[in-house]
Chains A and B, each alone.
Chain A
Amino acid sequence: MKAPPFDYVRANTLAEVFQLWREAGPEARLLAGGQSLIAALAFRLSEPSVLIDISRVADLTGITVKDGALRVGALTTHAELGANALVRQHAPLLGEAVPLIAHPAIRNRGTLGGSLAYADPAAELPACCVALGATIIARSATGERRIAAEAFFLSLYATALAANELIAAVEFPLRKPGERSTILELARRSGDYAMAGIVARTAFEGSRLVDPRIVLFGVGEVPVMAIRAMAALAGRPAEPASIAAAQAALAQELDPPADLNGGADMKRHLAQVLLARAIGRLATGGEARAQ
């Protein structure tokens, strides 16, 4: 279908964004890469009065390391994220996630900030942000607010952003020596949203997992941190008995909604399969060795 009529205006600076936003009122929407928004407009799921194009706002771009964190501008495209040397060094999980996101033509325009603000529960980057303990840098006309990724995703397509806030950047803690991470998903076709996916990150002491973080996507309204499975794995070696215990714990704590792909039981099963594969991969080196 064709999008409904709306006005368009481009903002070139953050100050302009907030001024235009104030003038345009609550029915305005921000346009970054547009890879979710323009599709939603075509379906007429969204009928904004005005699109404010923020895609050329320089303050929302750039990838830097500062004060012990990797700061990634909200307008960073998936393709840029996948190709960046600082990302590869300090948050290799993100680079591993990129090939799983849609298709090359979409990765060339879709942005990190857009993916997080859209908050699709089956998307890869929100789950990565939660697993890595990232911080969302929100900006409004009055200043900056830091929101932990864990507290950012509230429910289906809903985030902690206030009506007058945008995502300026995301800060990731730098990977510590010995820390491993990986992302896996099951999709019917390459590039589709996953039926179920998992992000796992852990340190090791010898063969024992230290402070493992397990986040599932596509199995709930938001990225789901698997607290019980994490507890079942913490301090234990990556071996069949502990993995089986973690799988059992995971099945208990997940309550996946049925969707077009299948029911709750199937999703629970897929999540358990992914958990075993992810821990197996971490035990043999995670994404760093897989590359």
Chain B
Amino acid sequence: MSREVQVSLQVNGEAVSRRVEARQHLIDFLRLELGLLGSHTGCEHGVCGACTVRVDGRIVRGCLVLAASLDGASVETIEGLSDSKEIRDLQDAFILRNACQCGYCTPGMLLAAAALLKSNPRPTRAEIREYLAGNYCRCTGYHAIVDAVEATAAARARSPRQD
């Protein structure tokens, strides 16, 4: 039992070892300890979705996960997904449709949208809205975001990716 905990984990494929404060959540760990500023701190109580990242392949609220609990875990952030080009088409569609605007929600929105398209490659607009209901955007009114996700799904259906 201690205020500080030693953790070793993978972040975007790279091994990371740090001593963290027990109370530090994953987003503060990524931003303050590792300098990965793509994951955003929003409400810090699990409502807004700006902090959406992947842990062991599944999206989570980064603000509702303690870094101390992640020994041995694999974390992926928007930086990792951008570098790997896994969601390049989705990112392009967001830019094309002006689905970012201020951009604060965008990394979380992209992580959530990517998870949706993985589990449901051809969602209806209603399904897109339902899935993204936990990711708040204060600029776009969501329409452009739904457009971008829908367009990405349609494009992938036309030319399936080799991954």
Residues of A within 8 A of B (CB): 1-10, 20, 23-24, 31, 34-35, 38-39, 41-43, 50-51, 53, 55, 79, 102-106, 108-109, 189-191
Q: How large is the interface on B (under 10, 10 to 19, 20 to 34, 35 or more residues)?
A: 20 to 34
User: Contact between B52 and A190 (Cβ–Cβ < 8 Å)?
Assistant: no
Determine which of A9, A31, A42 lies in contact with B45 in the assembled complex, contact meaning CB atoms within 8 Å. Answer: A42
Identify 13 residue pairs between A and B in the complex whose beta-carbon atoms are under 8 Å apart, listed by A's number: A2-B23, A2-B28, A2-B44, A8-B22, A34-B65, A34-B69, A38-B65, A39-B45, A51-B66, A103-B49, A104-B59, A191-B133, A191-B134
User: Contact between A9 and B1 (Cβ–Cβ < 8 Å)?
Assistant: yes
Q: A residues within 8 A CB of B28?
A: 2
B61 at the interface (CB under 8 A from A): yes
Contacts A35-B64, A38-B65, A53-B69 given; does A105 touch B134 at CB 8 Å: yes
**Bound-complex Cα distance A102 to B58 (A):** 16
Contacts A103-B49, A191-B134 given; does A109 touch B22 at CB 8 Å: no
Contacts A7-B22, A8-B22, A35-B64 given; does A106 touch B46 at CB 8 Å: yes
User: Contact between A42 and B44 (Cβ–Cβ < 8 Å)?
Assistant: yes
B25 at the interface (CB under 8 A from A): yes
Contacts A39-B45, A104-B115 given; does A6 touch B23 at CB 8 Å: yes
Q: B residues within 8 A CB of A79?
A: 58
Q: A residues within 8 A CB of B59?
A: 104-105, 108
Q: How far is the CB of B156 from chain A (nearest CB, A)?
A: 19
Residues of B within 8 A of A (CB): 1-3, 5, 21-23, 25, 28, 44-46, 49, 52, 58-61, 63-66, 68-69, 71, 112, 115-116, 129-131, 133-135
Q: B residues within 8 A CB of A20?
A: 1
User: Contact between B1 and A7 (Cβ–Cβ < 8 Å)?
Assistant: yes
Q: How far is the CB of B157 from chain A (nearest CB, A)?
A: 21
Q: How far is the CB of A193 from chain B (nearest CB, A)?
A: 11
**Bound-complex Cα distance A23 to B2 (A):** 13
8 tightest Cβ-Cβ pairs between the two chains A and B: A103-B134, A8-B22, A190-B133, A3-B23, A39-B45, A7-B1, A108-B58, A9-B1
**Bound-complex Cα distance A42 to B25 (A):** 10
Q: A residues within 8 A CB of B44?
A: 1-2, 42
Determine which of B22, B45, B49, B129 lies in contact with A51 in the assembled complex, contact meaning CB atoms within 8 Å. Answer: B22
Q: B residues within 8 A CB of A191?
A: 133-134
Q: B residues within 8 A CB of A9?
A: 1-2
Q: How far is the CB of A107 from chain B (nearest CB, A)?
A: 9
What 17 new A-B contacts, CB under 8 Å, besides A6-B23, A189-B133? A2-B28, A3-B25, A5-B22, A6-B22, A7-B22, A8-B5, A23-B1, A38-B65, A39-B45, A41-B23, A104-B112, A104-B134, A105-B115, A106-B61, A108-B58, A109-B65, A191-B133
User: Contact between B46 and A39 (Cβ–Cβ < 8 Å)?
Assistant: yes
Determine which of A8, A35, A41, A190 lies in contact with B1 in the assembled complex, contact meaning CB atoms within 8 Å. Answer: A8
Determine which of A4, A55, A102, A109 lies in contact with B134 in the assembled complex, contact meaning CB atoms within 8 Å. Answer: A102
User: Contact between B61 and A105 (Cβ–Cβ < 8 Å)?
Assistant: yes
Q: B residues within 8 A CB of A106?
A: 46, 60-61, 64, 134
User: Contact between A8 and B64 (Cβ–Cβ < 8 Å)?
Assistant: no
Q: A residues within 8 A CB of B49?
A: 103, 105
User: Contact between A31 and B69 (Cβ–Cβ < 8 Å)?
Assistant: yes
**Bound-complex Cα distance A43 to B21 (A):** 18
Q: How far is the CB of A151 from chain B (nearest CB, A)?
A: 30
Q: A residues within 8 A CB of B23?
A: 2-6, 41
- Chain A residue nearest to B5 (CB atoms) is A8
